[in-house]
Amino acid sequence: MLKKFILISAILCSLELYTLVFIPDMLIKVFEMAGVGIILFFMLVYFVYGEEQSEKKRFALPISMILIAVLFSMLGAYVFQDQAFSATAIGQRVLYYYLIYFLLHYMKIPIEYIKRIIVVFALVYMALYVGQYFLYPTALIKSKMFIDRGTLRIFMPGAGFLVIAYFIWLHSFFKTYKFKYILFLIGAMMVFVLLGTRQVLASMLLLSIIFMLQSKVIKSRFLFFLMIGIALVPVYFLFQDIINSMLDITVSQSQNAGSNVRVKAASYFLDDFNKNNWAYFIGNGAPGSSGYGLRMAGIAERYGYYRSDLGLIGEYTQFGILFVIGVIIILYRALSSRLPDDLMFIKYNFLGIIITLVTGGGAFGSTSINILINCMLLYMIDMYLNEKEELKPDMNTLSKSP
Rounded-to-integer distance, Cα 373 and Cα 342, Å? 17
210 neighbors 348 (Cβ within 8 angstroms): yes
pTM of the predicted model as reported, rounded to 2 decimal places:
0.87
Q: What does the alpha-carbon distance between residue 323 and residue 64 come to, in Å, rounded to a whole number?
A: 10
Domain extents for the chain? 2-394
Q: Do residues 9 and 113 make contact, with C-beta atoms less than 8 angstroms apart?
A: no
CB atoms within 10 A of CB 399: 7
Q: How many Å from the N-terminal Cα to the C-terminal Cα in the chain?
A: 44
* Cβ contact 313:266 at 8 Å: yes
Report the amino acid identity of residue 248.
D
Q: Which of these, 53, 3, 55, lies nearest to 382 by C-alpha position?
A: 55
pLDDT digits (tens, 9 = 90+) for 282-325: 999 999 888 898 999 999 888 888 888 888 998 999 999 999 99
Enumerate residue ranges in the chain where pLDDT < 50: 254-255, 257-259, 395-396, 398-399, 401-402
Among 390, 311, 364, 361, residue whose Cα is nearest residue 101: 364
Report the pLDDT value the prediction gives residue 219, as an integer from 0 to 100: 64
DSSP state of 311: T
In angstroms, rounded to a whole number, what is the distance separating the alpha carbons of residues 360 and 57? 28
pLDDT of the residue at 142: 84
Strand, helix or coil for residue 20 = strand
> Can you say how many angstroms the Cα of residue 370 is from the centroid of all Cα atoms in its chain?
3
Would you tell me how many other CB atoms lie within 10 Å of the CB of residue 256?
9
Judge residue 395's burial from the number of C-beta atoms within 10 Å of its C-beta, 0-12 exposed, 13-18 middle, 19 or more buried: exposed
Instruction: With beta carbons less than 8 A apart as the criterion, state whether 65 and 326 touch.
Output: yes
Tell me the H-state helices in 239-267.
240-255, 261-267
The radius of gyration of the chain from alpha carbons, rounded to an integer in Å, stands at 22
Q: Give the per-residue pLDDT at 255.
A: 46
Q: What three-state secondary structure class fits 356?
A: coil
CA distance 178 to 34: 40
Please give the distance of CA 378 from its chain centroid, rounded to a whole number: 12
Q: Say how far apart CA 281 and CA 87 lie, in whole Å.
A: 21
CA-CA distance, 156 to 176, in Å (whole number)? 32
DSSP state of 218: -
- Residues 6 or more apart in contact with residue 149 via CB below 8 angstroms: 196, 242, 245, 246, 249
Q: What is the pLDDT at residue 358?
A: 81
Cβ neighbors of 366 (< 8 A, separation 6 or more) are 94, 308, 314, 315
Q: Pinpoint the alpha helices (H) of 270-344.
A: 279-282, 291-303, 312-319, 321-336
pLDDT at residue 281, rounded to an integer? 93
